[in-house]
Amino acid sequence: MTQEKIKPTEHINKFEKTTEIVLDLSEDFSLSNGWGKKELIAHLLVWDIEILRIVKDVFEGKEVVWSEEYSGSKLDEWNDKQLEQYKEKSLNEVVDMFKEKREELIKNYKLLIEKNLEEKAADLFGLWKHDLHHIKQVKGESFDI
């Protein structure tokens, strides 16, 4: 059985749902790596910022290039390095930054579709799956959207 290809607009709908779920998570959880809500949202924020960087390249006609900094075994190191910049921020500050960047990313996704660039940026539309992975760490593996 082959999987049906998800349309970019469906990816955006799922992304909006995962955003809402992440923001509604309680503050009293702790993931196995020690992250609480602030660290989880900061982690998602750094990936939003990274995807926005790549989306900008797509708008400029450049190829999608994933940085070697977060390939393979370097990924955990890259994530830790990125999270450091949010260590001294409050949960509210991180949430506000996350909301701002997430809104910007969703607008950019829609603009990619409008400009018929979704094929060039196809790998970028599935970021909601990353959200869902972390939501399942909090709510359990059976959770789905």
Greatest distance between any 2 Cα atoms in the chain: 48
Q: What is the pLDDT of residue 85?
A: 94
Q: Alpha-carbon distance 131 to 113, whole Å?
A: 21
In a domain, 13, yes or no: no
Does residue 145 fall inside a structural domain?
Answer: no
Render pLDDT for 91-143 as a digit per residue (tens, 0 to 9).
Answer: 999 999 999 999 999 999 999 999 999 888 888 899 999 999 999 999 999 99
* pLDDT for the residue numbered 66: 76
The length of the chain, given as a count of residues? 145
More confident position, 74 or 83? 83
Q: Across the chain, what does the average pLDDT equal?
A: 91
25-40 pLDDT per residue, tens? 999 999 998 999 999 9
Of the CA atoms within 13 Å of residue 3, those in its CB half-sphere come to 3
Residue 129 counted as domain residue: yes
Indicate whether 71 pLDDT > 50: yes
pTM of the model: 0.90
Query: How many structural domains are present in the chain?
Result: 1
As a whole number, mean pLDDT of residues 84-94 equals 96
| 30 in a structural domain | no
Q: Could you give the percent of the chain with pLDDT greater than 90? A: 72
Q: Which domain holds residue 124?
A: 35-139
Specify if 16 maps to a domain: no
pLDDT of residue 1: 42
SS3 call for 60: coil
